[in-house]
A and B are shown apart, each in its own frame.
Chain A
Amino acid sequence: MPHIDLPEGYPGIRSLFMFSPETAKPLNDLVQTLLHDPTTSTLTPGERELIATYTSSLNHCKYCASTHGAIAKYQLGGNEALVKDVISDPSKAPVSPKLRALLIIAAQVQEDGKKVKTEDVANARQQGATDKEIHDTVLIAAAFCMYNRYVDGLATWAPDDPGIYDAIGKQRASEGYLTKPFKV
């Protein structure tokens, strides 16, 4: 049961957006720019969603990991196996060496920003990552340490039905983050 009185029929962060529309606006604007808008980063929306999914999975945030896993799947042309591979072990997942190096950085940020070392950044650069891509990776991982804590810190509802996450994933992959959530 959630720690505060939240509207029923909306899972996870969606219930918090309904509870506090004022803070919902910048929280959604941030993911729209950081994850969805294809023009704001040289990482694809699919790659960015994989970083968000992996960070959420490391934080054991079921709602965020399932939701962004589903969004990533739709952004990657339905490749659910790739999403599962990244979650279980990015070092063995069939992603580019650059994304693999960036996922290592994301995992360090998830633990503590100070865990990111010069050699990890050098390795990402060697695999072709730009300054901006390194920046975006750190900020996506940091942002999901916020979203995950917001969702779990207030004990929001994380549905068990995979169909709910799939429907949310489909909606967000096609519409972005600025449209209204639907009632479950």
Chain B
Amino acid sequence: MPYIPLKESLPGITGLLDYRQDTALPIRQLTQILLRGASTLTEGERELIATVVSYGNECAFCSAAHTAAANILLGDTVISEQVKLHPDSAPVSDKMKALLTIARAVQKSGKLVTPAMVESAKRQGATDMELHDTVLIAALFSLYNRYVDGLASVTPAEPAFYERLGHILKEKGYMPSPDRYAGL
């Protein structure tokens, strides 16, 4: 049960973003820019970064939600499982492998990102902006994961819930709207 009164119809992060909307707005805007804005990384690639960080933080709600979003955007359910379980042999580009290594370091601590990790990503073609966005996405999900688990928000057990949420994240992105969770 959540530590504070949240709407029962809005589990996980959805209820928290509803509880305090003045702080939710910049958090949503930042997420929209990073995961759906103009970028040389695809939306699916950026959702994979969110997924590995949430998985590393063992945040069941965020991990399931962003796995679903990544699967829908990539049209594939194997890639997300592979990057979580076997990142070295996952079927993603060498550049993505290097960026996901950096994201996993950031998940633990920003200080664990080494010049060698950054050099390796640059060698595989990563730009400064892609490195910046990878670090900030990983940092942002370090916020989300703690927000969701720190207030003991509800984690639905039903896999179909995350499928429905994944479709909302693909079709509506991250900005608020009155009927945003109507299909949840």
Which residues of the other chain, A, contact B143 by a CB distance below 8 angstroms? 142-143, 145-146
| Cβ distance B36 to chain A, nearest Cβ, rounded Å | 12
Does A153 lie within 8 Å of B135, measured CB to CB? Answer: yes
Alpha-carbon distance A16/B139, docked complex (angstroms): 13
Within 8 Å CB of A25, what residues of B? Answer: 26, 29
Contact B5 A114 (CB under 8 A): no
Q: Separation in Å of the A35 CB from the closest CB of chain B?
A: 10
A134 with B146: CB separation less than 8 A: no
B151 within 8 A of partner (CB) = yes
Nearest B residue (CB) for A29: B26
Inter-chain CA distance A137–B167, complex, in Å, is 32
Are the CB atoms of B110 and A142 closer together than 8 Å? no
| Contact count A vs B, C-beta below 8 Å | 148
| Complex CA–CA separation, A131 to B4 (angstroms) | 6
A104 to B57, CA, bound (A): 20
B82 adjacent to chain A (CB < 8 Å)? no
Give A121 to B33 CA distance when docked, in angstroms. 34
Main secondary structure of the interface of A (DSSP, over half): helix
- Across the interface, B140 reaches (CB within 8 A) one of A40, A131, A146, namely A146
B-side interface residues, number (CB < 8 Å): 48
Residue of A nearest to B32 (CB): A26
Q: Evaluate contact between B146 and A150: CB separation under 8 angstroms.
A: no
Q: Does B79 contact A (CB under 8 A)?
A: no
Question: B106 to chain A: which residues have CB within 8 Å?
Answer: 149, 153
Residues of B contacting A30 in the complex (Cβ-Cβ under 8 angstroms)? 23, 26-27, 30
Please tell me if A102 contacts chain B, counting CB pairs below 8 Å: no
In the bound complex, residues from chain B placing their C-beta under 8 Å from that of A131 are: 3-5
Alpha-carbon separation in the docked complex, A154 to B106 (Å): 10
Contact in complex: B146, A142 (CB < 8 Å): yes
The answer to whether B149 touches A23 (Cβ under 8 A) is: no
Q: Which of B44-52, B91-99, B111-119, B158-166 lies on the face that meets chain A?
A: B111-119
- List B contacts of A113 (CB < 8 A): 57, 59, 145-151
A and B contact pairs by CB, cutoff 8 A, 9 listed: A3-B113, A3-B118, A29-B29, A112-B146, A121-B3, A141-B146, A146-B140, A150-B135, A153-B113
> Which residues on A are within 8 Å of B, measured CB to CB?
3-5, 16, 19-20, 22-23, 25-27, 29-30, 33-34, 40, 59-61, 105, 108-109, 112-114, 116, 118, 121, 131-132, 134-136, 138-139, 141-143, 145-155
